[in-house]
Structure 1
Amino acid sequence: MTESSFLDAPVTAGIIERRADGYALVFDRPFDVPPAHVWDVLTDPDKVARWLGTVEPGWHLGKEYRLDMGSTKITGTVLQMTPGLSLQFTWEDPLGDESVLDWQVLETRGGSLLQFRTFEDTADFLAEGAAGWQGILDAFDAVAAGRDPVGASMEQWQDLRDAYAEEFGVSPTMGHVDAEGIVFERWYAADAGEAGTAVDRAASDLGLGGEASIEITDDAGRARVLVRQPAGGGNGGSEEVSGLLAVWHQALDAAGDHLAGNPWHPSSRRLAALKTFYGSGNL
């Protein structure tokens, strides 16, 4: 898969695997260059800055790192590092969620193979993450080939996210803004009636729903929930819109817990993190 995957019809290059303890996102990228070159692109801070972000102080075994991706700041710890072969580190995002990223560089007859795996406890942001990592690995490909990476538009990223969601049956998580206001789509393992009751309950608990249009359809035993609500300004970075996105995000999370029979309590810390997330250019 190359950068053209974003510029043409969306084609998934990764695999979302269901595991007993969660999920794994899997990418394998072949290269016609020696493994040492791929390892250099993976670990040299100047090259990492071109395809991922500014990492300080770099990847060092047992040490913490800070990664500046522009609108997103990541922290973590390097868990394992075998020079030329493998790299593994934790990845803590702005919402406080932590996952483990695993990179392997293998020698092949034609050159080398980069294997990337990220392990997640839940499916939250998994479709979004798959689309995001595909774009990042496209940028890696470009840097490895001596080219400048080409980014994708938000619309192209959303199309690819939706392709991952449909192919692997994983619900989208993030909301976004269009010309009419905010939009969320969530899928629940329930019928439409049960999902409607859960969404109404969660929205009512958080003071939402008066101006929202909520459409729920059955899809082979799965409820698809589409929420639309007008939002002043039409800008995902505005305080009003980012706040509304954050509250609806939390309400739809709560609906999922209600349907699963899990206790749910509003978290002011999570709500503040979501508001910052939606207000910092992540749309």
Structure 2
Amino acid sequence: MTADPRPLVFITGASSGIGQALAARFYEAGWRLALVARRTAEVQAWAATQGYDAARLAVYGADVRDVDAITGAGRACMAAQGLPDVVIANAGISVGMDTAEFADLEVMRATFETNNIGLAATFHPFVRAMCARGSGALVGIASVAGVRGLPGHGAYCASKAAVVSYCESLRGECRPFGVKVVTLAPGYIDTPLTRENRYSMPFLMQPDAFADQAFRAIAAGASYRVIPWQMGVVAKLMRALPNFLFDRLLAGRPRKHRQGENR
């Protein structure tokens, strides 16, 4: 029996939002899927509803905060489906925090464990094998929110700024071996994470539209891409603003809601 020659993508956070949209886009392009989520039954039910060929996908249960679980999922993927061509570390959380609240220090810990440690642990099983093969792409999902700190959003903004720096470091390490590291920075995407926001979200984008642009950016081997492009312009302007103007612009802006807080 010959191995399936179709390329393979490994995606975390595949049960909803961006992860699910990316899975659909890659499947439509003829790829095989390795999907990771805490809620595996939901992913399997969704795939069945879409009429996806069960021979072209596998679902692995793991919480990216559990390093043993997510690295184990990566190893299980390689044993069952082979070494992926693309690995997308998409799983992430977004919760507001107030540093004056002791309980919110735990929110920051959880955010970093998910958005940063979880991202590195997602990549870990594949890095050495990809470098030995001399090809592949590791994709980190950052955010425009990582460009500057937003009120009430300290944990998330800091974690996504760290994603950008981490992926930049990893890109330099992997480049000599032919492995690409792609950083994608979404703007506002209509997902369960953003629907809870209580402030305006310019250039709000649907997940399938984001997934289409992300697919093309990954195929092109882009080192860094803001999606949609309009938010890239906004991000550059925000980065260029002197602090006194940036602070004035954000004065009175609603804070990101905290865990358990009324929306």
Question: What is the TM-score of this pair, normalised by structure 1?
Answer: 0.27
Higher strand share: 1
* Higher RCO (CA-CA < 8 Å; seq separation 6+): 2
Higher helix share: 2
Question: What is the TM-score of this pair, normalised by structure 2?
Answer: 0.28
